[in-house]
Amino acid sequence: MNIKEKYMKKALAQAKIAYDKLEVPVGAIIVKDGRIIARAFNQKETKVDTTKHAEILAIQKASKRLKSWRLIDCEMYVTLEPCPMCAGAIIQSRIKKVYYGALDEKTGAVGSKLNLFRDFKFNHRVEFENSILQKECQNILQDFFKELRSQKSASINKEWVYKWKVGGEIMSKQALSKKVIHLCIISIIIIGIVFTAILFILKYDENGETNMPFLVSKISVISTVDGQDVENPEAKWDKTINQNNDIYVYVEKNVQYNKTETIASVAIENFKVEKNSNKGELKFYKQTQDEKILYKNTDEYLIDSIEYSGAKTSNSKKMEISNQGGIIEFRCANNNIGTYKSNEDTEINYGELLKKIGMNEEDLNATFSFDLTIKLNSGKSFKAENIQLTIPNDNLINEGKVGREINNPEGIVFKRIEN
């Protein structure tokens, strides 16, 4: 038995629990780093809730366990091919890969009726593999419905002419058939509406607003190296070394937007940092009020968010942006990445400091992300979440200064948050 079959056995154990509770026997588990972090089974009948599928319940448990809705690098094992609702939830939760057993020819959304994982260009692509212990997964479903049919047959009056009591009236088989057909047509229409709505929601989640009044047209990063003096009478030069990354976010009018809108404010918040090395500490700063000094890496200017107010003209010192568009400026500094001491050098070449203290590019690798909100004077607000930026370090060790410009950055999706 390989590892995939081992985990599918665990999902089948959950399906057996559903079977014993007279639920359609579908089970699911979620695995991260070789450990099962969530187990669930179908509870639609017990909870009287259409959304209580095994996949949905497993996602909820895993998110609670990881304290995050993003289930990055997680894998799901489920005994039955996911339906459109569950496939959509899997995409939304950023699950890496799905393994399923039995095919669902009626409502399967990962290959049978359609394939949401493969045929649609969402912002997250889910890998999948089917037919894991397919026979066992099919058998438990077939056994369940066979037993269910036999129980129903035993309770039905087997006359040649069937009669059914509905609303106090006795209805013939022919009349009942017509009513069933009408109900089926209505059900198909409702399913079509729901499916269309799901596709619309998923498309909006990927593309967001398609005609924004303002856009992020460019992001620039200028990375430099400097040193802060440390009092040390025994050394001619004693400095802590910082890597400073000055960020410029360009917000411009969308020439395709045909209505008049002006900016009330632009805010950047929810900074998140990922580093490969434990050298240094990434912190974020606003500009100083001093016209001669752009930034100081001191607690006085430390920020966890920054907001520019709309004005007639842009002024970064006052944290004002033109209501027609402008630039948001802040610093991401990697402080105290090393120490430089010397009694021999007559002067300091900051372009060579990183080389002198033995730094390499891997020590400087880091990324950070942030959310950006644009509020308009009309009352509308738009938000783009998780804008990711990689700090440039190519040739920084040799040259001491590098820059990067990202024109029309991809992956920035704005959504309406307030009318």
Longest alpha-carbon distance in the chain = 109
Helix (H, G, I), strand (E, B) or coil at 385: strand
Comparing CA positions, the residue from 161, 81, 88, 177 lying closest to residue 126 is: 88
Residue 159 annotated in active site: no
Which residue type occupies 216?
V
Q: Which amino acid, 58?
A: A
Cβ density class 89-125: b for 16+ within 10 Å, e for less = bbbbbbbbbbbbbbbbeebbbbbebbebbeeeebebe
CA atoms within 13 A on the CB side of 196: 6
Q: Point out the catalytic residue in the list 55, 75, 81, 329.
A: 55
Q: Contact, 38 vs 32, CB < 8 A?
A: no
Q: Where does 290-350 show beta strands of DSSP type E?
A: 306-311, 320-322, 325-342
Q: What are phi and psi of 230, to 5 degrees?
A: -120, 130
Rounded distance, CA 257 to CA 271, Å?
30
Q: Beta-carbon neighbour count of residue 32 at 10 Å?
A: 18
Which positions are catalytic? 55
